[in-house]
Each structure stands twice: as C-alpha cells, then as structure tokens.
Amino acid sequence: MKLLILLLVVAFDRFLEFFQRWRADRWPHRATIEVFDTLAGMIGATAARLIVWLLLPVAVLVWLGPGGDGWVGWIVSLVVLLLVITPRNTSEINRQLLDAAGRDDQEMVESARGVLFDGTSVDPATATTRQTGERIIVLAFSEWFLVLFWFVLLGPAGALFFRLTEWLARESDPGETDEAKPGWLHRWQKKAHALLVLPAAPVFTVLMLLAGSFQRGVNAWRGDPALGREHGAMDDWEAGSIGLIARVGHAVIDVERADECLDEDACLADQRAWYRAAHAIVWRALLFGLALVAVLTMIGWVP
C-alpha cells in the first residue's frame, strides 16, 4: 500500500502542474506558521509550539496507526504527502535551472538559485557550480527523501511530524530578536529535527553510492559540519548529516570534463552538464529507494 502511494505522489509531482504551482506558493508552510503566530498571541509561544507540533501527528497516529491501512488511510496518506513534500517545489525549480542554463539565460539561472539557496548563508548571485550541484542533492534529501523515509516507517503521522518539526525549528517565536536565546521548546525542536535527520542520512548516502560513482563516494564518506552549516543546518548533529550528503553527493557525480564544469569561469552550458548530472543522481537514488521499499513490501516488512 505504501509503495503505491509513493508512486502516486511521484507521478503527481512530476506530471500535474497545478500541484507544482500550489506548492511553489508554499501554502502549507505559510498556513502552519500563521496558525502558530495566531495561537502564540493568544496562549503564548511555548504552548502554541506544542499544539501545532504534536496535535495533528498524534491525532493521525491514533486514528490510523503507523500503517494507515484501508481506503481512509490511503486518502489521508496521499493528502499528507502532497501537503508536505518539496515545499519549495524544487523539482520544477531544478528543471527551470536546466532550461535557463541551456538557453544561456543568466537572469533566470540566478532566480532559480535564489529559490534553491533560500534559508542558507550562500549568496545565489555568487554561488559556484559545485555549491549549486550540492544544493540540488541536499534539497532532494531534505524535501523529498526525509518525508518519504518517515512515511515508510511511521505512516502519514511520521511524515507530518517530520515536516512540522522542521518548519517550527526554523521559525522564531513572535517578537523574538536574532540576538535572543531561543526558548527551551524551540531548542528541543531543533534537536528533534537533527535526530530525525540522523538515521536517514546514511540510507540516502548508500542510495547515492548505487546511483553514481561508488568508489569516489566511499572515499568521501565522512561528516562535514562546516559544509552542513553552509547548506542551512540548524544543529551540529544535523550539520554533520547534511555535510555528509553534500560531500558524497558531489563525489558521486560523474561528468566528462568535470574540471571545466566546475571552473569559476565556466559557461552556463558547462554548468548545465553538472546540474543535469546532479539531478540525475537524485532521480536514480529515488528509484533505488522505491525499489528497496518494493523489496521490503514483498517480504512483509513494509505494509
């Protein structure tokens, strides 16, 4: 059942344009934060965080259980996944990046990079080919794979819990300044997000090894907290995991004339070859992941 839902979600994301436009507007994220801000003004930030964080996932878990079986479970699972996967519509943005690079449209390339690097310390206008390729892979992990990973383990409640944890961990309390120390629950949410990332990172890394240059990826296998921070990690544990994904993701990309593609003065056509290879790694890793779920379904480990 979960395998069929995953296939439907992938198909909807790729072929139904209105889902892409809807997610590009980030409506689920904006609605969640608006509810949090409204509740925080009424009952305080800590209580609001707790309610927004746990109410829906616990309700879905109690209602459907971790499997989410039956027609109601199918529908709820499909709706939840479509609400929480790839909130910045990265699949379409990646395609726009490739098309713009192919047309030598520098302005459109920088616009696409602006979406991809939102929430990081990297300036999209000066982002290198390597950083952009890493970002394509890191976002595939954080916006696609992590949601599907927790859906397979805990059903729709797991997918919803992961995404709410991420959104709230990145959101400051209303009126909180950058210099102020986050509240205790906000700090716990950042740590909880890091713990949710931790077990999924090595699984995705193995899938990337199968999808690309295995030996180079194995040689690059180690955490890189500084690189993880560059890609927007909020916690030291998360930074190590995200740094691992970025390092190995870069290493497994196999492109002819790689040095020319990665040169600081590379033309957009050469950059496009690298971006296309990074995008291909993402899709091959996703297909290997779906194949793994299919095997686990056949042996009865995944309902």
pLDDT for 258 beyond 80: no
**Sign of the torsion formed by the C-alpha atoms of 188, 191, 193 and 198:** negative
Residue 203 CA to residue 244 CA, distance in Å, equals 11
Least confident residue range of 1-5, 194-198, 278-282: 1-5
Please provide the size of the chain in residues: 303
pLDDT for 195 beyond 90: yes
pLDDT for 297 beyond 80: yes
> What's the pTM?
0.91
pLDDT tens track for 12-36: 877 766 666 666 677 888 899 999 9
In the block, residue with structure tokens 């889902």: 19
Across 94-170, the runs of DSSP E, i.e. the strands, are: none
- The beta-carbon contacts of 14-22 under 8 Å, at least 24 apart in sequence, are 14/91, 19/82, 20/89, 20/91, 20/92
pLDDT for 296 beyond 80: yes
Number of Cβ atoms within 10 Å of the Cβ of 241: 27
CA 231 to chain centre: 12
Q: What burial letters (b/e) apply to 176-198, b meaning 16+ CB within 10 Å?
A: eeeeeeebebbeebbbbbbebbe
